[in-house]
Amino acid sequence: MTLELALDTFGDVSLDAEGRMKPQDAVIRDVVAQAVHADESGVDFIGLGEHHRDDFAISAPEVILGAIAARTSRIRMGTAVTVLSSDDPIRLFQRFSTLQALSGGRAEVILGRGSFTESFPLFGYDLKDYETLFNEKLDLFTRLLRGPKVSWSGTTRSPLRNQAVFPTLARPMRAWIGVGGTPESVIRAVHYDLPMILAIIGGPAARFRPFADLYRRAADQAGQAIQPIGVHSPGHVAETDAQAKEELWPHYKSLLDRIGRERGWPPVSRDKFEAEAAEGALYVGAPETVARKIAGTVKALGLSRFEMKYASGPMPHEQLMRSIELFGSRVAPLVRDMLA
């Protein structure tokens, strides 16, 4: 497949013109406008992450994706990620087969376990079942993707016997597995013959090369065609490197410091921010700077998709819109030229 240049967001709750935090309903409407702008700017894919927290507005991404489908004509759309462990695979399949119909075949789902755990108590699941829930639900969901009727049995729900699930897919739908960076997760993606998205949120992308190599080697040994590999990393684009950094820094720090307080991490320093921008997983700067770094990551890992999380913390909607426009209209063409 050709290289896809993509964007994603968790619907980070952002600041309004007066510096106040917006209500979540306003943020959701902003996300739809951002996706429409991404479509107009030439971005290949827009992903919406599922969370159940007060700092991220998107808890039902498929509903928002339906609104996006109705207002766009070209861009592909999906989740980044769907927390499969605490969802019902049959209902998830029905929502996405409906989105596939609404969008004219532009829907995708990225399946993952998520980096937050709020959905487990919210939907009545026990974290001790973390592995079993994901493995069994992934097994059922992939069977739904590949046939009009499914038979399945496991420990997390009642069995199915030659069960039809509606609406059926009028055309195939791509599903990916989101991987945080363990060999077991890579092998799982190969086992189910699904493309893989690596979440690289810190450090140089090149350190993930062993996972990309393992994925291709395992697929080859299994006699499978090698599926696409993608990367998800944070970033921000502005007219100059200095402007991009100054716009992003306070919001990036706000986001990571809040998560750090929950997880026992120290506050993020400006030196750490600058190091991630220079050599790590932060793609921030002018279009030429961001394009060079993306091109380097694509070559280092042999990627088919690069997906930039364009919203980090409470960055205002207007800055996000400009970043989206620059990514689609300038970064993406530059990357393709650099790799030609």
Average pLDDT over residues 276-286: 98
Average pLDDT over residues 236-257: 98
pLDDT surpassing 90 at residue 115: no
Tell me: the pLDDT tens digits for 265-278? 999 999 999 999 99
C-beta separation of 306 from 230 below 8 A: yes
- pLDDT given at position 181: 83
- pLDDT given at position 114: 83
CA distance 256 to 118: 17
Tell me: the pLDDT tens digits for 72-84? 999 999 999 999 9
Average pLDDT over residues 285-295: 98
Tell me: the pLDDT tens digits for 13-59? 999 999 999 999 999 999 999 999 999 999 999 999 999 999 999 99
DSSP state letters, 291-313: HHHHHHHHHHHT-SEEEEE---S
pLDDT surpassing 70 at residue 299: yes
pLDDT surpassing 70 at residue 222: yes
3-class SS of residue 175? strand
pLDDT above 70 coverage of the chain, percent: 100
Largest CA distance in the chain: 60
CA distance 147 to 50: 26
Q: Please, what is the average pLDDT of the chain? A: 97
- pLDDT given at position 1: 61
